[in-house]
A and B are shown apart, each in its own frame.
Chain A
C-alpha cells in the first residue's frame, strides 16, 4: 500500500515506512472498528445496520491494517483466504433460502422464534441472521479480495 502511494508520485510517503504511531493506533482502532462492525451486523434487525454495512466495515478495518503494515504482516496476523470467505458466504446466502423446503414452505420463507436467555432476557432467534451472515462474509471477502489482488501487483 505504501509503495503504491510512492509510485503514484508521493516521495514523502517513503519516510513513513515504519510509522510507529500509525501502526500502533491502527492496531487499537482495528478492534474498535471490527467490534463496531459486529455490533452493526447483529443490531441490524432492530436499529440501523445489517450484513452489507457490517461486511464493508469489517473489510475497512482490515484495509486499515493493510495501510499501516505491509501485506505479508497482515497475512501473518489474519491468515484468512478471502476466496473461502466468499464461497462460505455464497453457500450460506443461497443455502438458507433452500432450507425452507425442509419446513414445507416456499423458497425463502424465514422462520423466527423467541427464546429466553438468562442474562439477556427475551431474545429473538431469526433465520434471517444466517442469510445476513452470508451477505456479510461475501461483501467483506469480495472487497478485501479485490483490494488485496490489485495491491499485490506492486511487487
Chain B
C-alpha cells in the first residue's frame, strides 16, 4: 500500500463518507464535499510529471492474490499519467459544474457515490499493469456508467440507454477478458510489462490473432467504434455532467487507452493495425455524417464524440501500421503524437461543449435544434464559449483543435508517400475518407453555433432563456481557456505530457523532442487539406437544404439500432420459450432435473475413474450405530405414510438429530454441534412454512407410482453409497489434512483445526458462503415484501372494481 494506491482508491473511500454524510447533513450542496477529492488527486499527479518527463516509470506492487498472479500492480508512465490527469482534472471541473447543474432536490447521494466509484475505476484502468485487475476496473466503469445513465431511473429512455450501454460494453469487456487469458496462455504472465518482454513468443504463437480480435472487441465497444457506437447516443439520457465526464472525456477513451497500451505488443500484426485504422476512419466519417441530421443537441455531440474517437483510433492504427511495415518511422511518431494531442484537445473542447449544452438545456428547457435559435444577445457568455470550442472542434486556428487536426491530416496524407506493399493501389482512400470526415465535422460544428445562437429567435423554448449563474460557467470557461492556451502555446504540453505519453505508446525511453507549431509553410499539404475542408464545408453548409434529403434514404429498418432492438426482443422471446419449457413451477420437477443430472454426472465419473471396493479398512459396526440407523429408517418410512404434516416435521427432525448422534459417535463434535443447531432452526422454519401450504391434508388422493421418480431416487441412493465406498477404499492422492494438522498452531495460532480451516486456511470459502447467505436473506426479504405490496395493489384494484 503506497501513496499511489491510496490515490487510486481515494474516491471510493471518500464515497463511503460522502454517502453517510448525505444521510445526515443536507444543508450544503454535497458537491462541495466531493470537489476536494479529484483536486487532491490531480495535484498529486502533477507532482509526478517531472519523473515521467525523464522517461522514468513508477512501478509499485500491492499483493492482492499473489497465488493466481492477480496483484494490484501500479504502473505509471507518461501514457497512464496523461489519462489519469484527464480523469481527475476533468473530474474536478465536472463536479464543480454539477453543483450548479443538479439542484438539491435530486438524489445527490447516489450521484456523487456513483461518480466517485467511476473515478476510482477509471484511475484503476489507466494506472495498472495487471490485466486481470484492469479487467476488474474495466467492468466497474461499465457498472458505474450504467448507474449514472439510469440516474433518473423513472424515465424509460434512461433505463433503455443504461441497459444498452451495459449490454454492449460488458459484451466487449467479457470478450476482452478472453483475450487477456489467451495472452496469459501464450506468455504465462498477467503483467503487461511481462507480456511485452515475452513479445517473441506472442509473435510466433498461432493464438495471437485470437487474442487481438478479442481485445479489440473490448476496445471498440468501450470506445463506441462502428458498429458498436449505438450505445453512446442513447447514453445521453444521463445528466449532462455525466455525459461530459464519462461519455466524452474519460470512459469512452478507455478503449483508446487500451489500444495505445497494447500497441507495443501487437504492432507487428497486420490484423491489429489494419482493423484499427479502417474501423477508426470509417467510424469517424460515418458518425460525423450522421451527426448533422440529429435534432437533439446532445445527440449531435454524441455522434461527434464517436467520430472524434474514431479519429484518434485511426491515428493509433496508422502509428502501429508504419511500425509494423517499417515504412516510415517519422510517420509513426507524427501519428502517435497527434493521437495523444487530440485526446487532450478533445477532452477540453468536447467537455466544454457538453457543459454548454447542459447550460442551454437548463436555461431554455429544451435541447431541440428546431426550437432553439437566436440566443446570441441573450446568452452572450455561453455564445463566446461555444464559438471557441466549436471552432476548435472544426479544426480552425488559433485553437488547439487546429493543431491536432492538422497533425492528423498530415499523417493521413503522408500515407501516400509510404509504401505499404499490396495496399499501395488503394491507399489514396485513407486521406480521402479523412478529409470527408473532416468536412462533415466542420459542418456540424458550424451548425451548433448557427443553430443555437444565430438565425432567427424562435421564442419556442419552454423557459425564458438568460445567461446561467456563474457557478455553471466556471468549468466550461476554464476548459475554453485551455483550448486557447493549448492552441497558442502548444509546446507547454509537448515536452511535459505529450512526449512522455507518446513514449509510453511506442515503448521507447528516448525523448522525442516534439515541437508543435501553427505554421508549417505553404508546402505543407495538411494546410491545403484544411483550406479545402473549410471551403467545401462552408459551401455545403450554405446549400445544406439542397442535399439534406439524402438522409431520407437511410431507412429505420437498416439501422444498427433496429438490429439491436430486434435482436434483444427475439433473444428474449426465445429464452422465454426455452425457459417456459422446463420451468414448471413444481419443485418436484426441479428435483428430478437436479438429481437426474447428478446421476448422469455420477455415472460418467464412476466410468472414468473406476470403482474400488475394499472393506478391509472398515471399523466393526457397534450396537449404537445399528439403533440409530434403525431410527432413521423408521422415521423415513413414517414420513412417507403419515397423513399429518406435524408428524412429518417431527420425523424429519428426528432424522437430523440422529445424524448429529452419528457425528458424536464418530468423534466429529464440530459437525454434531452444527447439525444440531441447523436441525433446530430448520424445524422452526418448516413449522412456519407449512402454514402457507394448502389446508387440505396430504394423500387425499392416492399417489400414482411414477417410474421416473423411482429411477431417480433409487439412482441417487445407489450412487451415493457407491461413491462413499469407492472414496473410502481408494485414495487417489494424499489428504490435505496432514498439512492442516502440522500448521494449525504455527501459522494460525489455533487449536481447533476445523475452525481454523473455516476462518483462515480456506477463509475464501467462508467469506463467499457468508456473502451468499446474506444475499439469500436479503433476497427472500425482497421477495416477500414485493409480494406483499403486489397483494396490496391487487386488493386496491379489486376494491376499485367492486366500487364500480
Contacts of A147 in B (CB 8 A): 681, 684-685, 688
Given contacts A44-B755, A83-B778, A147-B685, contact A106 B773 (CB under 8 A): no
Given contacts A9-B645, A49-B670, contact A151 B755 (CB under 8 A): no
Given contacts A48-B673, A90-B774, contact A112 B748 (CB under 8 A): yes
Contacts of A59 in B (CB 8 A): 681
Contacts of A149 in B (CB 8 A): 780-781, 784
Do the beta carbons of B751 and A47 come within 8 Å of each other?
A: yes
Do the beta carbons of A102 and B695 come within 8 Å of each other?
A: no
Any A CB within 8 A of the CB of B690: yes
Of the listed stretches A14-22, A72-80, A136-144, name the one at the interface; the rest are far from the partner chain: A136-144
Contacts of B763 in A (CB 8 A): 97, 108, 110, 128, 131
Contacts of A97 in B (CB 8 A): 763, 767
Contacts of B1 in A (CB 8 A): 101-102, 104
Instruction: Tell me how far the C-beta of A99 lies from the nearest C-beta in chain B, rounded to whole angstroms.
Output: 11
Do the beta carbons of B692 and A150 come within 8 Å of each other?
A: yes
Compute the total of residue contacts between A and B using a CB distance below 8 Å. 181
Instruction: Tell me how far the C-beta of A98 lies from the nearest C-beta in chain B, rounded to whole angstroms.
Output: 10
Of the listed stretches B58-66, B348-356, B549-557, name the one at the interface; the rest are far from the partner chain: B58-66
Interface residue from B691, B751, B773 paired with A45 (Cβ < 8 Å): B751
Contacts of B748 in A (CB 8 A): 110, 112, 128
Instruction: Tell me how far the C-beta of B60 lies from the nearest C-beta in chain A, rounded to whole angstroms.
Output: 11
Any A CB within 8 A of the CB of B429: no
Q: How far does the alpha carbon of A145 sit from the alpha carbon of B781 in the complex, in Å?
A: 7
Contacts of B784 in A (CB 8 A): 149-150, 152-153
Any A CB within 8 A of the CB of B641: no
Q: How far does the alpha carbon of A56 sit from the alpha carbon of B670 in the complex, in Å?
A: 13
Any A CB within 8 A of the CB of B327: no
Interface residue from B752, B767, B776 paired with A48 (Cβ < 8 Å): B752
Do the beta carbons of B697 and A9 come within 8 Å of each other?
A: yes
Do the beta carbons of B691 and A134 come within 8 Å of each other?
A: no
Contacts of A86 in B (CB 8 A): 774, 777-778
Do the beta carbons of B65 and A126 come within 8 Å of each other?
A: no
Q: How far does the alpha carbon of A153 sit from the alpha carbon of B757 in the complex, in Å?
A: 39
Among residues 1 to 29 in chain A, which have CB atoms less than 8 Å away from a CB atom of chain B? 1, 4-5, 7-10
With CB as the reference atom, state the residue of chain B lying closest to A146.
Answer: B780
Q: What 0/1 readout, one digit per residue, does chain A (38-71) give for beta carbons within 8 Å of chain B?
A: 0010001111111111001101100100110000
Among residues 79 to 129 in chain A, which have CB atoms less than 8 Å away from a CB atom of chain B? 82-83, 86-87, 89-90, 93-94, 97, 101-102, 104-108, 110, 112, 114, 124, 126, 128
With CB as the reference atom, state the residue of chain B lying closest to A82.
Answer: B777
With CB as the reference atom, state the residue of chain B lying closest to A107.
Answer: B64
Interface residue from A1, A46, A50 paired with B759 (Cβ < 8 Å): A50
Q: How far does the alpha carbon of A10 sit from the alpha carbon of B689 in the complex, in Å?
A: 15
Q: How far does the alpha carbon of A51 sit from the alpha carbon of B757 in the complex, in Å?
A: 12
Q: How far does the alpha carbon of A47 sit from the alpha carbon of B64 in the complex, in Å?
A: 31
Size band of the interface chain B makes with A: 35 or more
Contacts of B688 in A (CB 8 A): 1, 4, 147, 150-151
Do the beta carbons of B749 and A56 come within 8 Å of each other?
A: no
Do the beta carbons of A94 and B771 come within 8 Å of each other?
A: yes
Interface residue from B669, B673, B771, B777 paired with A146 (Cβ < 8 Å): B777
Instruction: Tell me how far the C-beta of A45 lies from the nearest C-beta in chain B, rounded to whole angstroms.
Output: 5
Q: How far does the alpha carbon of A110 sit from the alpha carbon of B763 in the complex, in Å?
A: 10
Among residues 758 to 804 in chain B, which have CB atoms less than 8 Å away from a CB atom of chain A? 758-760, 763-764, 766-767, 770-771, 773-774, 776-778, 780-781, 784
Interface residue from B66, B677, B767, B777 paired with A142 (Cβ < 8 Å): B777
Instruction: Tell me how far the C-beta of B193 lies from the nearest C-beta in chain A, rounded to whole angstroms.
Output: 20
Do the beta carbons of A110 and B760 come within 8 Å of each other?
A: yes
Instruction: Tell me how far the C-beta of B624 lies from the nearest C-beta in chain A, rounded to whole angstroms.
Output: 20
With CB as the reference atom, state the residue of chain A lying closest to B745.
Answer: A46
Any A CB within 8 A of the CB of B646: yes
Instruction: Tell me how far the C-beta of A70 lies from the nearest C-beta in chain B, rounded to whole angstroms.
Output: 13
Interface residue from B66, B680, B756, B774 paired with A106 (Cβ < 8 Å): B66
Contacts of A47 in B (CB 8 A): 751-752
Contacts of A146 in B (CB 8 A): 685, 777, 780
Contacts of B680 in A (CB 8 A): 56, 60, 63
Q: How far does the alpha carbon of A139 sit from the alpha carbon of B764 in the complex, in Å?
A: 16
Any A CB within 8 A of the CB of B718: no
Q: How far does the alpha carbon of A47 sit from the alpha carbon of B673 in the complex, in Å?
A: 12
Any A CB within 8 A of the CB of B687: yes
Any A CB within 8 A of the CB of B458: no
Do the beta carbons of A45 and B752 come within 8 Å of each other?
A: yes
Among residues 62 to 84 in chain B, which have CB atoms less than 8 Å away from a CB atom of chain A? 62-66
Given contacts A48-B670, A102-B1, A108-B763, contact A60 B778 (CB under 8 A): no
With CB as the reference atom, state the residue of chain B lying closest to A101.
Answer: B1
Q: How far does the alpha carbon of A131 sit from the alpha carbon of B763 in the complex, in Å?
A: 9
Among residues 653 to 698 in chain B, which have CB atoms less than 8 Å away from a CB atom of chain A? 669-670, 673-674, 677-678, 680-681, 684-685, 687-692, 695, 697
Contacts of B766 in A (CB 8 A): 93, 131, 135
Any A CB within 8 A of the CB of B644: yes
Instruction: Tell me how far the C-beta of B293 lies from the nearest C-beta in chain A, rounded to whole angstroms.
Output: 50
Interface residue from A63, A93, A150, A154 paired with B770 (Cβ < 8 Å): A93
Any A CB within 8 A of the CB of B750: yes
Do the beta carbons of A4 and B687 come within 8 Å of each other?
A: yes
Do the beta carbons of A50 and B773 come within 8 Å of each other?
A: no
Interface residue from B66, B689, B760, B771 paired with A90 (Cβ < 8 Å): B771
Do the beta carbons of B62 and A101 come within 8 Å of each other?
A: yes
With CB as the reference atom, state the residue of chain A lying closest to B67.
Answer: A106
Contacts of A9 in B (CB 8 A): 644-646, 695, 697
Q: How far does the alpha carbon of A144 sit from the alpha carbon of B774 in the complex, in Å?
A: 12
Do the beta carbons of A143 and B681 come within 8 Å of each other?
A: yes
Do the beta carbons of B646 and A8 come within 8 Å of each other?
A: yes
Q: How far does the alpha carbon of A83 sit from the alpha carbon of B112 in the complex, in Å?
A: 25
Q: How far does the alpha carbon of A112 sit from the alpha carbon of B767 in the complex, in Å?
A: 19
Q: How far does the alpha carbon of A117 sit from the alpha carbon of B714 in the complex, in Å?
A: 59
With CB as the reference atom, state the residue of chain A lying closest to B63.
Answer: A106
Interface residue from A44, A83, A105 paired with B752 (Cβ < 8 Å): A44
Do the beta carbons of B773 and A153 come within 8 Å of each other?
A: no
Q: How far does the alpha carbon of A149 sit from the alpha carbon of B66 in the complex, in Å?
A: 42
The 11 listed contacts between A and B (C-beta, < 8 Å) are A4-B688, A4-B690, A50-B758, A51-B759, A60-B684, A101-B1, A107-B63, A131-B766, A149-B781, A150-B692, A152-B784
Task: With A50-B752, A82-B777 given, name 13 new contacts (CB 8 A).
Answer: A7-B691, A9-B646, A48-B670, A51-B758, A60-B680, A63-B684, A83-B781, A94-B767, A101-B62, A107-B64, A108-B764, A132-B755, A150-B691
When A and B form their complex, which 9 residue pairs have the shortest distance between CB atoms, in order from nearest? A142-B777, A46-B751, A56-B677, A48-B669, A106-B63, A128-B759, A50-B755, A4-B691, A112-B749
